[in-house]
Structure 1
Amino acid sequence: MSGTGTLTFTEFKLFLRDPGATIATIGLPVAIVVVFGLIAQPGSGTDPIMTYFPAMALALGLAQLALNVTPTTLASYREKGILRRMSTTPMRPARLLTAQLLISIGLAVAAAVLVVLVGHLGFRFTLPQNFGGFVAAFLLGCAALFAVGLLVAAVAPSARVATGVGVGLFFVSLVFGGVFMPAETLPPFLVRIGDFTPLGAFMQSLRASWGGTMPEPLHLAVLGGYTIVAGLAAARLFRWE
């Protein structure tokens, strides 16, 4: 096994020792689908609002992982001097960052698969009708949200600050992104603001692809823009010690 592979496996075992993180990233999205599946009974109708529930579960889990878990973990490693000590060994700190990203992406994919399968097989939520659009939205959403999360980790001087900033962004994103409540029930100006947030663009892209249409170019462009801008800023500002 390569050095990066060994480090990824070790970091994954450390992640599993924190049951709260596992529940938040995988258990919570699945639980949301189960609860709303029991309440809404999606198999009994074709109301477009039904695309909200599985998309919301995915968006919530990914946002939790990207904006809360990842920044706090990396900032705590910097604060404890782990990155600085690694810089004196052949295991470069960049490999730790790669390992964290691989774990996060793997968890996001696992959560997505479980949400889709549990929702469809258990409660007859429809499968994403535009599969190509769903994949594009999911991958761009992951890239955009993790880029923002890494930017938080890059500028936060401590794990406490990273947690505070991440939690603030998380809850603001839920409100403006059409996650806390369906876009159909929000004032138009909030929906418009959400179109230009990474979580809002991600949520609307997921719902569009779930309903059978291609995500709007605006939403995909917003996700791509956050990926590039936040990703470059994170790379430029990130410090290992």
Structure 2
Amino acid sequence: MSGTGTLTLTELKLFLRDPASTIVTIALPVAIVVVFGVIAQPNGNKDPIMTYFPTMALALGLAQLALNLTPTTLAGYREKGILRRMSTTPMNPAKVLTAQLAISFGLAVAAAVMVVLVGHLGFQFTLPAHIGGFLAAFALGCTALFSVGLLVAAIAPSARVATGIGVGLFFASLVFGGVFMPAENLPPFLVRIGDFTPLGAAMQSLRASWSGTMPEPLHLAVLGAYTIVAGLAAARLFRWE
């Protein structure tokens, strides 16, 4: 196994030793689908509102992972001097970043699979009807949100500050992104703001693909823009010590 692979496996073991992280990342989205499955009893109902429940669970778990867990972990490594010490070994800090991103993306995929399977097999939520659109929305949603999370990690001097910024962005994203409440029930100006936030664009793209249509070009473009701009900014500003 390569050095990066070994490091990724080690980081994954460290992650799984923290029950709270596992619960937030995977168990919470699944629990949300179960709760709303019991309440809504979809049974194959194709009402557009039914696309809200599984996509909300996915978006919530992805936002927690990208905006809270990832930046706090990386900022903590910098604060404790782990990255600085690793820079003197063949296992350089860049490989830590690669390992963290690989784990985060893998966990996001695992959570998505669990939400789709539990929702469909357990409560007959419909499956995403536009597979290509769903994959595009999910992939771009991941890259956009992880880029924002890495930017937080880049500018935060400590894990505590990273947590504070991440939590603030997390709750703001839930309000403006149509996660707390379906977009149909939000004032139009909030929906419009949400169109230009990474979580809002991801949420609307996932809902569109779930109902059988390709996500709007605007939403995909917003996700792509966040990926490029926040990603480049994070790479430029990130400090290993």
TM-score by length of 2: 0.99
Moved over 2 A (4+): none
**Could you tell me which amino acid in structure 2 is paired with residue 69 of structure 1?**
L
Amino acid at match of 1:5: G
Distance 1:43 1:198 in 2: 31
Distance 1:44 1:12, change over 3 A: closer
Using the TM superposition, give the Cα deviation of residue 45 of structure 1 relative to its aligned residue in structure 2, in angstroms.
2.8
Q: Which residue of 2 aligns with 1:187?
A: 187
Alignment coverage as a number of residue pairs: 241
Aligned residue for 2:126? 126
For 1:137, the aligned partner's letter is A
The residue aligned with 2:204 is 204
Residue 168 of structure 2 aligns with which residue? 168
Contact 2:71–2:149 (CA<8 Å) still a contact in 1?
yes
Could you say which residue in structure 2 is the equivalent of 1:226?
226
CA distance in 1, matches of 2:73, 2:163: 9
**Gap runs ≥5 in structure 2:** none
Q: Which moved more, 1:158-167 or 1:35-44?
A: 35-44
Corresponding position: 1:28 with 2:28 = yes
Give the match for residue 90 of structure 1.
90
User: Which 5+ residue runs of structure 1 have no aligned equivalent?
Assistant: none
Aligned partners of 1:220, 1:44: CA distance in 2, in Å? 28
The one-character-per-residue Cα deviations of 1:84-138 (angstroms, maximum 9, x if unpaired) are: 0000011110000000000000000000000000000000000000000000000
Task: Please state if 1:139 is matched with 2:139.
Answer: yes
Determine the C-alpha separation between the residues in 1 that align with 2:207 and 2:48. Answer: 9
Percent identity between the aligned chains? 85
Offset at residue 73 of structure 1 (A): 0.1
Normalization by structure 1: what TM-score? Answer: 0.99
AA in 2 matched with 1:191 = V
Question: C-alpha displacement at 1:44, in angstroms?
Answer: 5.9
- Which residue number in structure 1 is paired with residue 47 of structure 2? 47
Matched residue, 1:178: 178
